Amino acid sequence: MSDRDQKQQFRRAGKAPDKGRGSGRRPVRRDRDANPDGPAILYGWHTVAAALANPQRQIRKLWVTENAARRLADDKIDTRVTPEIVRPSLIDQRLGPDAVHQGLLAEADPLPSPDLDMLEQQGIVLVLDQITDPHNVGAIMRSAAAFAVKAIVTTARHSPEATGVLAKSASGALEMVPLVTVQNLARALTGLNDQGFMTVGLDSQGSENLGAVALRQPLALVLGAEGKGLRQLTRETCSVVARLDMPGEIKSLNVSNAAVLALYIGAVRLGLMG
């Protein structure tokens, strides 16, 4: 592979292919961060260190600078593969000038995506309705890990790949929170309803404040894209649509901030805070 081809591979962030509508058979287990053009690209200290600590994550290649290699050795982190010592500029070339890689870059196999019916019947799951910004999804994953969320459900289309920017923004949470990828979100929500989940959509036009809703486990909190919010069919499939009331003049939050607030309210109301 030429250096030019390598650069294109590392910068590529294509969507997962659309498998089409199923025939009613059990969905095939899918790699959750599968990119048809290559492996998952992981960079940054927390992201790569968490991947190295995850026995389910198969590391293919590892590039480290001399400083990062010393830090890995000092922290007694098992690299699991023989790392290639490189100059920081080489990682810059592969990722682009804006990537904060801290001297670490890994190629890894995708993690498996569990089926929807494998979810635990307790705690909280998050459902993302076409949230496409990888920074937002990564931040949501980090908050999900902090609140011990059981899984995040997202769609194969109109969602970012679990690689690159998303993985960096998640700061290691990609290794901690299962990511369930579905083809049709409304059908997935119907499946969660059938499994006994209380599905609560979050929308500024919700009928009541989330803090006043009688929440129960298992709980699925459904978040929509900024600006567009929840799609109509998503709203109609949720068992409840609630809003997040704010006392100040600004009445809406960035979706990743809204996720934190909703998770805190849910965790407190369900008695999951300790």
In the chain the domains, ranked by start, together with CATH numbers, are 27-112 (3.30.1330.30), 114-269 (3.40.1280.10)
Arithmetic mean of pLDDT, 1-20: 40
Helix pair angle (88-95, 3-11), 10° resolution: 60
For the whole model, what pTM was predicted?
Answer: 0.83
8 burial class (0-12, 13-18, 19+ CB within 10 angstroms)?
middle
- Taking only the tens place, the pLDDT of each residue in 142-154 is 999 999 999 999 9
Arithmetic mean of pLDDT, 1-22: 40
- Taking only the tens place, the pLDDT of each residue in 191-248 is 999 999 999 999 988 989 999 999 999 999 999 988 788 999 999 999 999 999 999 9
Pair 198, 167: CB distance under 8 Å: no
- Taking only the tens place, the pLDDT of each residue in 69-126 is 999 999 999 999 999 999 999 999 999 888 999 999 999 999 988 999 999 999 999 9
Pair 33, 178: CB distance under 8 Å: no
Bridge partners of residue 104, in order along the sequence: 64
Quote the DSSP letter at residue 58.
Answer: P
